[in-house]
Amino acid sequence: MKYLIFLLALAGCSTTTDSIKPFPASLTYGGRSPIVNAPVGSSFSYDVRDEFGDRYQELYEVKADHTVRLVTRFKYSRSF
């Protein structure tokens, strides 16, 4: 019975890693993912603007196949 309750609780968990939707100027927009010559697991930032001109800094992580994954995005200024 405890095993069943554990499985039901685990089934309710959501573990999506791609919850951040890329902007058109993002490196991973449209399903693309550039291949980079960087150590696996390393990260780098990329500055991007959205369709309203607001500036963001995106953090990417290098995956095992040397493609990148968008990890987080930080808004650091607003254009007027």
Whether residue 54 lies inside any domain: the answer is yes
Whether residue 69 lies inside any domain: the answer is yes
The reply to whether the predicted model has a pTM over 0.75 is no
pLDDT confidence tier of residue 4, bands split at 50, 70 and 90:
very low
Whether residue 62 lies inside any domain: the answer is yes
25-48: per-residue pLDDT in tens? 999 999 888 989 999 999 999 999
Whether residue 59 lies inside any domain: the answer is yes
How many domains, in total, are found in the chain? Answer: 1
Following DSSP, what letter does each residue of 16-65 receive, concatenated? Answer: -S--SPPPTTSTTGGG------S-TT-EEEEEEE-TT--EEEEEEEE-TT
Whole domain around residue 64: which residue ranges? 17-77
